[in-house]
């Protein structure tokens, strides 16, 4: 038996990830810029230090803090009826009344086909399978507001009386109010929209200057000029425990760090927990700004790993990274699913758009599971949905993948090729609507 076999055998008894997940989900909330997020950062720092990460520090950065107030939503015609609703982060405050229009999935074609000017639109959280890619809520909101809609209602496609949340903009107040309602409410709204419904909604919320923080330290020789960045976000929406999104992910990072601290590494590993992913990738952007990205060989973003049994790897167009993942998982007898197309909606993006090869580690949803986020971004994202076995397995695979990446130098990302690939995937219009298309791109 080799030294690595012995090390990995011991990982089956390691509760590092589960202990961190428990501490994080015991907090009242971990919303970006709020006191609970700061406390979570301290827990992450303690876990990293216990895992052998050296020089762990907490670095603050500026952001716009959004504070949730009261949200009210009601149908006024053809009946008078109130429904539970949640304001979506960075929703503008205000009151809106108007005709309700159902735009189905909220794709650009559906919005264009409907007369939404001056009206309140309702769109589903899911995406039609034939679309070929996930259509983000910020895209749907952006397209709707550009077409003249006065307000946005986001209806969950997952049953259980679960209004969804999720930011409308990245780190800035949106142009109009936006709210989330449950699938069950959405079914009523579709019915009422066909009957010429009118609705009214009221959002009380504040956006004001605030601060958040990143936690990071290193493994391996501190004198190394090059490094791999291994990160996960530890913040969560304020309506739930944030166990799956992304308590599992940051817990996998902590478990992987403990393993990596006992491995021989070919370059330095920077281990990071970043804040404010849910409200705009702000922490990842601040971390990317603070590093010499020419010296970063690759970014491994653990967002979604640890939720389910099997690993899913987003390789963002890098054939070398994909080949490495395939080799490691085959060597250790572990299944892996691949998603190869780049996307901008997680913490790898501030690195990827600046040329750093990126790997995002997620979980493959079980057969028959709902499309989309599932329990994520709802009240149901709680610790009972997580399994410590998944945290351990994904921590092991993450450590093995990072160790292998540390011994290779995948080609840098060509900006022109990245831009064209996003265009080929029909992503440009949506990214522009969401205001995440880089300003300097034509």
Under 8 Å CB-to-CB from 214, ≥6 apart: which residues? 41, 58, 59, 61, 272, 273, 274, 275, 283, 286, 287
The residue with tokens 């490495």 is 324
**Same domain membership, residue 272 and residue 420:** yes
Under 8 Å CB-to-CB from 228, ≥6 apart: which residues? 267, 268, 269, 270, 296, 297, 298, 299, 300, 402, 405, 406
**Same domain membership, residue 303 and residue 224:** yes
- The residue out of 207, 225, 259 marking a domain boundary is 207
Is position 409 within any domain?
yes
**Same domain membership, residue 150 and residue 121:** yes
Task: Please count the structural domains in the chain.
Answer: 2
pLDDT of residue 168: 96
Stated as kind and residue range, the H or E segment containing 337 is strand 336-339
- The residue out of 207, 228, 258 marking a domain boundary is 207
Is position 442 within any domain?
no
**Same domain membership, residue 217 and residue 195:** no
pTM as predicted: 0.96
Is position 440 within any domain?
no
pLDDT of residue 410: 95
Is position 437 within any domain?
no
**Same domain membership, residue 109 and residue 44:** no
What is the domain range of residue 379? 3-64+209-424
pLDDT of residue 223: 61
Is position 430 within any domain?
no
pLDDT of residue 370: 59
pLDDT along the chain (442 residues), means of 10: 76 92 98 98 98 98 96 98 98 97 95 96 91 87 97 97 96 95 98 97 96 97 83 97 98 98 95 98 98 97 96 96 97 95 97 98 79 86 97 97 95 96 94 94 85
Question: Whole-angstrom Cα distance, residue 216 to residue 211?
Answer: 17
Contact 11, 392 (CB under 8 A): yes
**Same domain membership, residue 370 and residue 301:** yes
**Same domain membership, residue 78 and residue 50:** no
Is position 92 within any domain?
yes
**Same domain membership, residue 26 and residue 122:** no
Question: Whole-angstrom Cα distance, residue 190 to residue 181?
Answer: 12
Is position 368 within any domain?
yes
**Same domain membership, residue 8 and residue 140:** no
pLDDT of residue 423: 96
**Same domain membership, residue 175 and residue 78:** yes
- The residue out of 161, 178, 207 marking a domain boundary is 207
- Taking alpha carbons only, the member of 405, 387, 376, 406 closest to residue 252 is 387
Question: Whole-angstrom Cα distance, residue 341 to residue 329?
Answer: 20
Under 8 Å CB-to-CB from 224, ≥6 apart: which residues? 267, 268
Question: Whole-angstrom Cα distance, residue 237 to residue 381?
Answer: 10
What CATH number is associated with residue 8? 3.40.630.10
**Same domain membership, residue 309 and residue 400:** yes
- Taking alpha carbons only, the member of 299, 316, 283 closest to residue 421 is 316
**Same domain membership, residue 140 and residue 272:** no
The answer for 304, left when phi > 0, alpha when psi is -120 to 50, beta otherwise, is left
Is position 232 within any domain?
yes
What CATH number is associated with residue 171? 3.50.30.30
């Amino acid at each position: 038996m080799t030294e690595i076999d012995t090390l990995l055998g011991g990982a089956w008894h390691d509760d590092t990830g589960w202990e961190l997940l428990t501490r994080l989900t015991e907090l009242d909330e971990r919303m970006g810029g709020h006191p609970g997020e700061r406390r979570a950062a301290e827990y992450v720092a303690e876990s990293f230090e216990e895992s052998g990460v050296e020089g762990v520090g907490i670095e603050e950065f500026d952001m716009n803090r959004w504070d949730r107030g009261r949200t009210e939503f009601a149908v006024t015609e053809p009946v008078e009826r109130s429904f539970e609703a949640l304001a979506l982060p960075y929703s503008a405050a205000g009151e809106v009344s108007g005709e309700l229009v159902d735009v189905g999935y909220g794709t650009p074609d559906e919005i264009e086909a409907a007369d939404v000017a001056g009206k309140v639109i309702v769109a589903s959280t899911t995406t039609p399978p034939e679309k070929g890619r996930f259509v983000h809520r910020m895209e749907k909101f952006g397209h709707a507001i550009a077409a003249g809609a006065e307000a946005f209602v986001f209806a969950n496609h997952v049953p259980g009386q679960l209004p969804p949340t999720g930011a409308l903009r990245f780190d800035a107040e949106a142009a109009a109010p936006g709210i989330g309602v449950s699938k069950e409410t959405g079914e009523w709204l579709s019915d009422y929209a066909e009957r010429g419904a009118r609705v009214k909604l009221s959002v009380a919320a504040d956006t004001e200057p605030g601060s958040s923080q990143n936690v990071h330290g290193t493994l391996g020789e501190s004198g190394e000029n090059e490094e791999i960045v291994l990160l996960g976000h530890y913040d969560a929406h304020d309506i739930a425990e944030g166990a799956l999104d992304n308590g599992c992910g940051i817990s996998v990072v902590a478990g992987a760090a403990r393993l990596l601290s006992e491995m021989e590494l070919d370059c330095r590993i920077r281990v990071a927990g970043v804040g404010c992913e849910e409200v705009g990738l702000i922490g990842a952007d601040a971390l990317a700004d603070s590093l010499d990205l020419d010296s970063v060989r690759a970014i491994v973003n653990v967002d979604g790993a640890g939720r389910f049994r099997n690993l899913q790897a987003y390789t963002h167009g890098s054939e070398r990274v994909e080949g490495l993942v395939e080799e490691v998982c085959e060597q250790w007898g572990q299944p892996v699913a691949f998603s190869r197309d780049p996307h901008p909606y997680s913490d790898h993006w501030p690195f990827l758009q600046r040329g750093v090869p990126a790997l995002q580690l997620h979980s493959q949803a079980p057969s028959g599971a709902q499309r989309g986020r599932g329990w994520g971004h709802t009240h149901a994202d709680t610790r009972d949905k997580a399994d410590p076995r998944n945290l351990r397995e994904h921590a092991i695979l993450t450590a093995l993948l990072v160790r292998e990446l540390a011994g290779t130098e995948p080609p840098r990302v060509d900006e022109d090729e990245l831009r064209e690939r996003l265009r080929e995937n029909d992503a440009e219009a949506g990214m522009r609507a969401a205001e995440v298309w880089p300003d300097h791109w034509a």
